[in-house]
Amino acid sequence: MEFAKTVEAARRQAGAWKTEGCTIGLVPTMGYLHDGHASLIRRAAADNDKVVVSVFVNPMQFGVSEDLAEYPRDIERDGDVCRQNGVHLLFSPDAGELYPDGFCSFVDMSGLTDALCGRSRPALFRGVCTVVAKLFHIIQPHTAYFGQKDAQQLAIIRRMTADLNLPVNIVGCPVVREPDGLALSSRNKHLNPAERKAALCLSAGLAEGRRLLENGETDVRRIKAAVRAPMEAEPLARVDYAELVDADGMRPAAAAHRPLLCAAAVFIGATRLIDNFILDAE
Which residues contact ligand AMP by CB under 6 A?
29-30, 36-37, 39-40, 146-147, 149-150, 173, 175-176, 183-186
Closest contact distance (angstroms) between CB of 177 and ligand AMP is 7
Quote the least distance from Cβ 157 to ligand AMP, whole Å: 8
Asked if residue 101 lies in contact with residue 64, where contact means CB atoms within 8 angstroms, the answer is no
Q: Taking a C-beta distance cutoff of 8 angstroms, is the pair 190, 236 a contact?
A: no
Kindly tell me which of 42 and 232 has the beta carbon lying closer to ligand AMP: 42
Q: Do 34 and 54 contact (CB within 8 A), yes or no? A: no
Residue 33 or 223 with smaller CB distance to ligand AMP: 33
Can you tell me whether residue 277 is helix, strand or coil? Answer: strand
Report the largest interatomic distance among the alpha carbons of the chain, rounded to a whole angstrom. Answer: 58
In angstroms, how far is CA 32 from the centroid of its own chain? 13
Give percent helix, percent strand, percent coil of the chain, each to the nearest 5: 40, 20, 35
Residue nearest to ligand AMP (CB): 147
The nearest distance, CB 182 to ligand AMP, in angstroms, is 9
Candidates 37, 88, 142, 190; catalytic one: 37
Angstrom distance (rounded) from CA 106 to CA 128? 10
Which of 17/56 has CB closer to ligand AMP?
56
Buried b (16+ CB within 10 A) or exposed e, 198-212: bbbbbbbbbebbbeb
Nearest to ligand AMP of 115, 226 (CB atom): 115
Give me the least distance between CB of 166 and ligand AMP, in Å please: 16
**What does 157-192 look like in DSSP terms, one character per residue?**
HHHHHHHTT---EEEEEPPPB-TTSPBP-GGGGG--
Minimum CB separation from ligand AMP for residue 216, in Å? 29
Nearer Cβ to ligand AMP (201/212)? 201
Residue 37 annotated to the active site: yes
For the annotated catalytic residues, the residue numbers are: 37
